[in-house]
Structure 1
Amino acid sequence: MIGRLSGVLLEKQPPFLLLDVQGVGYEMQAPMTTFYALPEVDHPATVYTHLAVSDTAHQLFGFAKRSDRDLFRTLIKVNGVGPKMAVAILSGMDAAQLSACVHNDNVTALVKVPGVGKKTAERLIIELRDKLVAAPGTENDLLSDSVAVGAVKRDERDEAESALISLGYKPTEATKMIAAAVRHKDSADAQELIRLALKRIAS
């Protein structure tokens, strides 16, 4: 099993990373919390990995911290939660926010994750309550759909929308989320737009 890789980041196209390890390119999926923590392209990086093996594919998942990988492994042990859903959950909230959702019985926040229905959210709360350390609630800015469009490049918005669709959001929902994330600012890259759009999950 591949547990950790160190090399140079070649590509960061959410939700995929490409890491060059001594001439071998390892492609992996990663939650957005990992994208925020990793350095820019062409810089050295170390990721903790999990290899998911199924009848149809071998998928590699990468995480900036060992604790994030451990949380991912805890999530996929919950009935009905696969790797893709776990990545979507960890893209919208970090460990502290997820713990707050679980200990506050916040079903509403969890069902905002694509693919998570009410029953799965309730199952997550029940099965994770004893596995996650209780954490205080976190504050999140609620994004209004009426936020005016700033000077954000069209290709950045398109890239951000594509990333959300890859995480499981419907195209119309992804467009709406990114539109809500665009604020009055001089510029915003795709990663920042995704971060702002996903803030709504843990709120």
Structure 2
Amino acid sequence: MIGCLRGIILEKQPPQVLLEAHGVGYEVQLPMKCFYALPETGQEAVIFTHFVVREGAQLLFGFIHKQERVLFRELIKVNGVGPKLALAILSGISAQQFVRAVERQEINALVKLPGVGKKTAERLVVEMNDRFKGLSGDLFSPQDVDDIPLAIDAQVNPADPESEAVAALVALGYKPQEASRMVSKVASSSADCEMLIRNALRTAL
């Protein structure tokens, strides 16, 4: 099991980062909430990871904080929630916001997340509430990742940030037409790819 990686960021392509550690390049998929907090390309980063082995694929999912990884691991235990959906959920809502939504049984907030229908939202509220009871009460109390400023890297800004933002949202589970609509709502000539994704996810909630 690969639990943590420390290395140099070679490439950033939302929602994936290429991290070189001891001469090996690891492709790691992160929730966008974590992707925002990454340092610039060429700098060192520490990423807590969860390794998933599937038939024909080995996937690494990464997180800035341990509590995000804990929540991810609890999410994929829920019936009908796989790693991709869990990644999409944590991209659209922070760990702290998700815990609050579950505790307050805010079904309407959860169904706005990509891939989450009413039945899945109801299942999340029931099952995750039970799981939270077995976790430390202050597990999700550290600084909300929403408060962490964007790490802007001009060297990796795409020539067409809107297309890249749409592609990233599709990778997170949104339908192409919906992703295009979300990005067009927040489109700006001064916004880069990361900013477009962040604003698009915020307007979806």
Q: TM-score, length-normalised on structure 1?
A: 0.84
User: 1:120 & 1:56 partners in 2: Cα distance?
Assistant: 27
For residues 58 and 93 of structure 1, what CA distance do their matches in structure 2 show? 25
TM-score, length-scaled by structure 2: 0.84
1:100, distance to aligned residue in structure 2 (A):
1.8
The residue identity in structure 1 corresponding to 2:108 is T
Aligned counterpart, 2:170 = 165
User: What pairs with 1:46-65 in structure 2 (closer than 5 Å)?
Assistant: 46-65=46-65
Secondary structure of the 2:46 match is strand
In the alignment, is the contact (CA less than 8 A) between 2:5 and 2:47 conserved in 1? yes
Structure-1 residue corresponding to 2:160: 155
Unaligned stretches of 5+ residues in structure 1: 141-152
1:166-189 CA-partner distances (Å, limit 9, x unpaired): 111111101110111225xx6111
Distance, in Å, in 2 between the alignment partners of 1:164 and 1:18 is 19
The reply on whether 1:119 has 2:110 as its aligned counterpart is no
Give the equivalent residue in structure 2 for 1:150. none
Note the 1:77-116 alignment, pairs <5 A: 77-116=77-116
Q: Distance in 2 between matches of 1:104 and 1:182?
A: 33
Task: Count how many residue pairs are aligned between Structure 1 and Structure 2.
Answer: 185
Segments ≥4 residues shifted beyond 6 Å: none
- In the alignment, which residue of structure 1 is the partner of 2:196? 193
Indicate the percent of aligned positions where both proteins have the same amino acid.
52
How big is the alpha-carbon RMSD for the aligned residues of Structure 1 and Structure 2? 2.1
Which residue number in structure 2 is paired with residue 67 of structure 1?
Answer: 67
**What CA distance in whole angstroms lies between the structure 2 residues aligned with 1:193 and 1:26?**
26
Deviation of 1:154 after TM superposition, in Å, equals 6.7
Q: What secondary structure sits across from 1:18 in the alignment? A: strand
Unaligned runs of 5+ in 2: 147-157
Kept in 1: contact 2:12–2:18 (CA 8 A): yes
Q: Is the 8 A contact 2:182 2:203 kept in 1?
A: no
